[in-house]
Amino acid sequence: MTMAMTNPAVRRRRRQRAFRVAAVGRWAVTAALVMVAVAALYPLLFTVVNSFKSRAGYAQNPLGLPDGISFDNYVETFIRMNVPRLLLNSVVTTLGGLLLSTIAALFIAYAVTKLRIRFGNLLFLFVISMLVIPSQVIIYPLYETILNLGFGNSYSGLILAYAAFGLPMSTYLLVAYFRAIPDELIEAARLDGAGELRILFQILLPVSTPAIAAMSILNFVWMWNDLLLPLVIMGGSDNTTLMVGVALLSGQYDVSIPLVSAGLIVALLPVIIIYFLFQRQILNGAISGAVK
Amino acid sequence: MHSTAHQATARQKARRGGSGLRPSLFLVGLLVLPALILAVVFKLVPLVRAFWLSLLKTQGFYDPTFAGISNYRSMLRDPMFEDAFRNALMVFLSLPVWVFMPLVIALLLFQRTPGWKFFRAAYFLPYMIAPVVVGIMFRQILSPDGPLNAMLISIGLAPLAIEWLNGPNSALFSLTAVALWSFFGLGVLTYLSGLSTVPQEVVEAARLDGAGFWRLLFNFALPLIRPVVGYWTVLCMSGMLIWMFPLVYALTRGGPGSATMMPEYLVFITTFEFLNRGKGAAIGMALFVFVAFISTFVVRQMYREGRGRQP
Amino acid sequence: MTTNDTRRSFRLRSLAASALVALAMTASAQAQDATTIKVLNWQPGGPEYWTALVKAFETENPNIKVELETVPFDRYPEVQGPYIATRSGPDVMQQNAGLELFDRRVAYQELPAEVLAAGDDLLTRSGGCLNYDLTQACYGLPFGFQGNVMYYNKAVLSEAGLDPANPPSTWQEFGDACEKVKATGKTCLALGMTGVFPAYWVFPEIARNYLTEDDMRAILAGKMPWTDPKMVSILQAMADIPTKGWSNGNAPSISMLPDGADIFASGNAAFAGTIIADAVNWAAFGAALGDENVGAMRWPAVEPDAPLAKSFSGTESAVFGVTTWTDKTEAAQQFVKFVAGVENGNLLTSLGGGIPLNSKVDPALFPKSGALEQIREIIKKPTIHVGVLLSGQETDALGRGWQEVALGRLSVEDWVARMQVALEESPGKN
């Protein structure tokens, strides 16, 4: 840096000025950050507050705090949506999709980076280029294909679709990560007589937890929150995921905004809970896997 | 055995950039097939079928007949088609904001502003909220007599209290802003992890050296975390249109008129609401070309980072 | 259930289905195993009514279990579309009468006379038949009556200096009333323009002022161009509503359900054009505003001398039909018959807030409501509901065009041109 070449007197003067600017600047920065935080948190707060209002209460006072707290909207949400069942559907399909896409990505990333196979790079290119096919473009033929395979309206159909759509990004992350792991490590294990699968699961897997964690968060969030694939593959009613349930609730006859708000909070709660439980892991470690 | 000799050749091989022995076919199959099957069966095959479908005339639910390019002709006649792609392009033009806004925020947090841990947690929360939920929430917040306008009026900015979702430009702007609201937290976090590899002393020294915030941003941070910026740009470009769909679905349904119509939403309503699967597939193919064109850059970047040196 | 190669073996499958029916009939005599039928529906009348309906049906048919797949009305096509396209899924489906049913008739079995006989007590069931003609093929049986009225808030009218006993009955009077309501700071007509509601809830009420029933049948057949002066007049009158400032300012960006109806239910609007049954009806508004404050009237007449201006755009609220791919035809037919029967009519009246079509329904079951009495008067002169004759494209273009007209970005002429394109692009109408 240039610092080394500047003489001490100039440095001192600069330092004093820097502190003065910093004092003012720090306030401005904090104010800006607070504003962004308010913008980030307010919509959720607004929804929570509304979910405790009665229909009439919301009509008279849509913006303020409710007069009293009413849980009627939550009771109604549970009556209208089979929440436990939808939650189960969401958990099974998200975890299934997560697991399958992770395993498939681990396998192919290993094959492409650590095995001498022909067309390795081509395979890698093929898998990541699937990224350019958005789900909306192929949604109908995809659904037909899933039906042809006998997976319509079933967990397996949605899990396979999730896995396929999570695959390109996961593969990309893992391949980039595996490349950074020195081949010597693997050579040594091979010489010790370890099989390839053992090398993958006992050596590479532990080392690449940050990358796996990062892609798991990306995948978890989009799979849990996805609308299109479950809407089309699973249909309506009890078969579908929590997120589709909420989207459908909002379109239902005779709903009110407080009721929809309660539905939104119910759908959000599992994610929020996970976020608070694993906050440190998510915020500190997880994403760093993506950037090495 | 000739273990030392063996070891030597293996090392040599490894140094030459390759690795290991040529693996058995069974092993390769086991490792490659799951991903290959997923990619082929659930992405490539549907894409080919979509292309075939786009050449068929699908009369309601009767058996389809071959129709050549008539679906494409009908697509070009549709005024909504043009609007949808123009809107998509407009959304892509906001990419610099998507890339730099989180970077600026991350840099502010990186200077260890008091309470930065709270801010970081708060910013990431919107990302966890499902876009469909976000859409429904913001329909209330952005309504003319909703909280946003109430706030603007109360702080004396009444002229800014516009009908966010009603105007031709303001609706698309609002939609993009809501999408950004929903995803900037992930960007902040990504940049923060990138920045964490930059030693604090370097930044401190630069600041003491009198480097202003912008110089800090452009001269120090950017060059050091360029790979992270690249990664985030890739994520944004490949994700923007996909992220938009549930928002359009829950917030505007492409309206008013076609002000926020997006190609993927047009495919969806043409297929499932107008029951015109052939034309829906044709619009889908146009979208595929559009996305492929834009993401070629992305995929090339990804490939460069991930490919091995050996042929 | 196999779903492969559905298209190719379609005819074969119906043969197989009838064979299965025969099999099922002999089998049911021996085995007491319950058959489970899946019923796709949007739960008109609310969850409480549907729970009671299923319970009553299962009590009457102990061998049949009903599994409901409930999808909201305005998301219905998106869920149903894939089922029909792949010929798989539910055994019984609910469908709007009119074009929606005709478009999808490949999905429904033609009901045999024995099943249709269960509809003998219904005031009308032609909406389940081809071209509204009882002598042609019929695909479903209805149970309730549906259509549009305009509800008004008597308290808001009084506040504006209007006579709640004499709400406006012509377009002119409505405009004058709106000026007075707006002077009090409230919305005159609560409106939301996104989704299917402009087509289903507003369009038929204006269209009656310009069309004859033959014109309406021509719309169903795709033989009435939007460039016809009558159709242009309809769009012009619709355009007047927002441009004259009668509706709420955010109408172009909100949906009638729940947002638009919420404005009225919260007492912030004088009028709202919604439906007579299922939801956002006299019962829902009565609960929100007090029964004494809610009145129901015909939409004000744009052309008071038009032959159908004083009629009611009524339609069978929905019909239930048996799908072509089901292998449980007999059980499914049993359900369709039950839906049309008097027991369900009674449930609909007492629990669902609906207006039953079955003439044997006990009149004492009707709840006491002034607005309901007004509605029962209004529906005595029914005509065709032209909203349900529009195609998906027309429905969509109507709503989007109206939004842009309301925002001053589209002329009525251009709206007409777009409607014509939508008509020409409608697979079912060409």
The pLDDT of residue C6: 36
Specify if C200 maps to a domain.
yes
User: Is residue A261 a contact partner of residue A72, using CB atoms and an 8 Å limit?
Assistant: no
Cross-chain residue pair C258–A60, CB shorter than 8 Å: no
SS (H, E, C) chain B: CCHHHHHHHHHHHHHCCCCCCCCCHHHHHHHHHHHHHHHHHHHHHHHHHHHHHCCEECCCCCCCEECCCHHHHHHHHCHHHHHHHHHHHHHHHCHHHHHHHHHHHHHHHHCCCCCHHHHHHHHHHHHHCCHHHHHHHHHHHCCCCCHHHHHHHHCCCHHHCCCCCCCHHHHHHHHHHHHHHHHHHHHHHHHHHHHCCCCHHHHHHHHHCCCCHHHHHHHHHHHHCHHHHHHHHHHHHHHHHHHHHHHHHHHHCCCCCCCCCCHHHHHHHHHHCCCCHHHHHHHHHHHHHHHHHHHHHHHHHHHHHHCCCCC
Q: Does B102 touch chain C (CB under 8 A)?
A: no
Cross-chain residue pair C262–A232, CB shorter than 8 Å: no
Which residues from chain A sit within 8 angstroms of residue B19, using beta carbons? 114-116, 183, 186-187
Residue extents of the structural domains in chain A: 2-51, 73-291
Identify the CATH number of the domain in which residue B102 sits.
1.10.3720.10
Shared domain for C181 and C304, answered yes or no, is yes
Cross-chain residue pair A58–C279, CB shorter than 8 Å: no
Shared domain for C170 and C282, answered yes or no, is yes
Tens digit of each residue's pLDDT (9 = 90 or more) over C288-334: 899 999 999 999 999 999 999 999 998 888 899 999 999 999 999 99
Cross-chain residue pair A163–B38, CB shorter than 8 Å: yes
Q: To the nearest whole percent, how much of chain C has pLDDT over 70?
A: 92
Better pLDDT: A135 or C412: C412
Which residues from chain B sit within 8 angstroms of residue C106, using beta carbons? 60-62
The pLDDT of residue C138: 94
Domain that holds residue B212: 80-306
Residue C423 CA to residue C225 CA, distance in Å, equals 8
Give the type of residue at C79.
V
Shared domain for C346 and C386, answered yes or no, is no
The pLDDT of residue C303: 95
Cross-chain residue pair B273–C396, CB shorter than 8 Å: yes
Specify if B184 maps to a domain.
yes
Host H or E run for residue C33: none
Which residues from chain C sit within 8 angstroms of residue A59, using beta carbons? 262, 265-268, 288
Specify if C1 maps to a domain.
no
The pLDDT of residue A209: 83
Shared domain for C127 and C104, answered yes or no, is yes
Domain that holds residue C289: 146-314+370-429
Cross-chain residue pair A260–C43, CB shorter than 8 Å: no
Cross-chain residue pair A254–C280, CB shorter than 8 Å: yes
Cross-chain residue pair B274–C259, CB shorter than 8 Å: no
Residue C102 CA to residue C129 CA, distance in Å, equals 8
Q: What contacts C337, CB < 8 A, 6 or more positions away?
A: C115, C118, C141
Specify if C3 maps to a domain.
no
The length of chain B, given as a count of residues: 311
Distance from CA of B60 to the nearest CA of C (A): 6
List A residues 253-292 in contact with C (Cβ-Cβ < 8 A).
Answer: 253-257, 260
Q: Pick from C359, C386, C416: which residue ends a domain? A: C359
The pLDDT of residue C195: 84
Specify if C353 maps to a domain.
yes
Averaged pLDDT of chain C:
87
**Average pLDDT rounded to a whole number, residues C150-170:** 95
Shared domain for C262 and C215, answered yes or no, is yes
Q: Does A190 touch chain C (CB under 8 A)?
A: no
Specify if B272 maps to a domain.
yes
Domain count, chain C: 2
User: Is residue B71 a contact partner of residue B282, using CB atoms and an 8 Å limit?
Assistant: yes
Specify if B255 maps to a domain.
yes
Residue C285 CA to residue C153 CA, distance in Å, equals 9
Q: Does C248 touch chain A (CB under 8 A)?
A: no
User: Is residue C64 a contact partner of residue C338, using CB atoms and an 8 Å limit?
Assistant: no
Specify if B281 maps to a domain.
yes
Q: How many CA atoms within 13 Å lie on the side-chain side of C288?
A: 30
Identify the CATH number of the domain in which residue C81 sits.
3.40.190.10
Residue pairs spanning B and C at CB distance below 8 A: 108
CA C327, C332, C334, C337: dihedral to nearest 10 degrees? Answer: -140
Which residues from chain A sit within 8 angstroms of residue B121, using beta carbons? 279, 283
Which residues from chain B sit within 8 angstroms of residue C250, using beta carbons? 143-145, 163, 165-166
Averaged pLDDT of chain A:
82
**Average pLDDT rounded to a whole number, residues C38-43:** 90
Give the type of residue at B212.
G
Q: Does C75 touch chain A (CB under 8 A)?
A: yes
Q: What contacts B17, CB < 8 A, 6 or more positions away?
A: B308, B309, B310
The neighbours of chain C, by the rule of 3 or more Cβ pairs under 8 Å, are: A, B
Peptide bond before residue B96 is cis, with ω within 30 degrees of 0: no
Tens digit of each residue's pLDDT (9 = 90 or more) over C24-37: 444 444 445 689 99
Indicate the angle between helix axes B95-110 and B168-195, nearest 10 degrees.
40
C279 has a pLDDT exceeding 80: no
The pLDDT of residue B59: 66
Structure tokens at C405: 């007209």
Which CATH number is A73-291 given?
A: 1.10.3720.10
Domain count, chain B: 1
Shared domain for C393 and C307, answered yes or no, is yes
Shared domain for C348 and C263, answered yes or no, is no
- Which of A178-187, B2-11, B238-247, C99-108 is predicted least confidently? B2-11
Which residues from chain B sit within 8 angstroms of residue A139, using beta carbons? 267-268, 271
The pLDDT of residue A253: 56
- Mutation target among A253, A256, A257, A264 for the C interface, most CBs of C within 10 A: A253
Tens digit of each residue's pLDDT (9 = 90 or more) over A191-205: 888 888 888 888 888
Specify if C342 maps to a domain.
yes
Handedness of CA C357, C363, C368, C369 (dihedral sign): positive
**Average pLDDT rounded to a whole number, residues C110-122:** 93
Specify if C2 maps to a domain.
no
User: Phi and psi for C64 in degrees, rounded to 5?
Assistant: -120, 130
Confidence of residue A22 (pLDDT cuts 50, 70, 90): low
Residue C255 CA to residue B307 CA, distance in Å, equals 50
A3 has a pLDDT exceeding 50: no
User: Phi and psi for A116 in degrees, rounded to 5?
Assistant: -85, 90
- Positions in chain B whose pLDDT score sits under 70: 1-22, 59-62, 112, 200, 203, 206-213, 217, 308-311
Name the E strands within chain A.
Answer: none
Q: What is Dmax (Cα atoms) for chain A?
A: 79
- Which of A256-260, B289-293, C248-252 is predicted least confidently? A256-260
Q: To the nearest whole percent, how much of chain C has pLDDT over 90?
A: 58
User: Is residue C148 a contact partner of residue C273, using CB atoms and an 8 Å limit?
Assistant: yes
